[in-house]
Amino acid sequence: MHAERTNKVPKPSKAAPDYISYEEVQKHNTRESCWVIIDGQVYDATSVLQWHPGGPAVILKNAGKDATKAFVPIHPPNTLQQLPMEAHIGPVDPTTIPEDANQPTEEEIRIAEARRNLPPPSAAINLHDIEVLAEKVLTGTAWAYYRSTADDEATYFENSNAFKRFWFRPRVMNKVSQISTATTLFGLPSSLPIFISPAALYRLGHPDGEMNAVRAAGQEGVIQGISNNASCSTEECMSVKLPGQGLVFQLYLNKDRKASETLVKKIEAQGFKAIMLTVDAAVPGKRELDQKAKGEDLKDGPSTFGKSGSSGMGVAHAISGYQDPDILWDDLPWLRRITKLPIIIKGIQCVEDAEKAFDEYGVKAIILSNHGGRELDYSPAPMTVLYELYQQRPDLLRKHEVYIDGGVRRGTDVLKALCLGARGRRARAAVLVCEWRVGRGWLPACHTDYARGNRDGDEVAGCDKP
């Protein structure tokens, strides 16, 4: 069961008609007059075409018809409230909507069939199995957004390949029957040295979105990160967490610093335990799979698209227009002044910046990350940077919290990072594979896979300390 999300909007003005017929809506399917239906309400989206971060194509594809399915997974709950009152035409007359308007598409039929044929979670014995199943049950747009990485994907694959260059030196005849994977991350208890990464648009994969992950994280005793670009509101996420469950918030700095300040104070008051400042995504990367998926929109829409240089920008561009590319080290003192929450820098990619973060700016923790290989191709793998840090500044690993993000697929990957001094393993591609792409029931399966791999690795390697 899941709760359908709607974008609540103000009541239409008195001057607006009581109902608009579906036939009338269909007439407005051009760039010059573009109406859409969202959650039973009719909106004039003509002016939005000029500034929509994702370009006009996706709107024009749904011009003159119901755009709810395309709109809801990508936009935050309060998006419609930000439109001018005159953009809200009024409610559509449900009695005028033809039956075929609500018929499932070929893709929806495909997904429904794939979900009916999903095996139980226990049938997928590793994360690769789960990812294969996930591709079958996601829309093309969702899969393209989740899977897309930058350019030739060299960094994406290197994130995983880097782990393969490190081998264990097992010690034998140690007491290993009592091994625990429990630890503390960001000052919060966790059943495993990993946490669920903040990432955008969970609702592309499941109607409950981030709320699914929060529930499952509470059940499994791991920490959940909530993205600034989440498709669920922070209120929704906080409403389903367990008492004492730790949530951290991933912050992208807004070009309007006042907006960021308001947001930071809001999430602090709500009970988030830390702020993860993202610095490895100054601008959206050239994610070609995502761009190609959005380019498909051009094939099905009305012939009045006209010229649009941004039509194939992809989902990543559509949600990031507010982000400030000019994030500076001097923003850290400002951020510290407006909040008492610990600050974690996510996106360190060299030893020099790790030194600067700890020695000069006194941050709580850092996450070595290249944004999952989704930004600058040929950026170094986090595991490589961790090894360089281990060689050049081992004192930082002893004194501070250092995490890595990218490429983990096995519990032994987690163990390798811990051996080199990482405090915990941020499971981006792995744990999120189960949540985004299959649903809540699969997160315990991922938890079990990581726990078994981590615990068995400890025992076989001869680690005698929990």
Residue 280 among the catalytic residues? yes
> Of the residues 145, 202, 252, 403, which is catalytic?
252
> Of the residues 28, 206, 371, 447, which is catalytic?
371
- Chain centroid, CA 54 distance in Å: 17
> Of the residues 39, 93, 280, 297, which is catalytic?
280
How far apart are alpha carbons 245 and 230 in whole angstroms?
19
Residue 256 among the catalytic residues? no
Handedness of CA 382, 369, 140, 299 (dihedral sign): negative
Q: Which residues contact 1 (CB under 8 A, 6 or more apart)?
A: none
Which of these, 427, 344, 449, lies nearest to 382 by C-alpha position?
A: 427
Residue 44 among the catalytic residues? no
Contact present, 168 and 456 (Cβ < 8 Å):
no
Which of these, 251, 245, 248, lies nearest to 215 by C-alpha position?
A: 245
How far apart are alpha carbons 237 and 241 in whole angstroms?
7
- Chain centroid, CA 315 distance in Å: 12
Which of these, 79, 107, 87, lies nearest to 36 by C-alpha position?
A: 87
Contact present, 425 and 194 (Cβ < 8 Å):
yes
> Could you tell me which residues are beta bridge partners of residue 36?
43
Q: Would you name the residues annotated as active-site residues?
A: 252, 280, 371
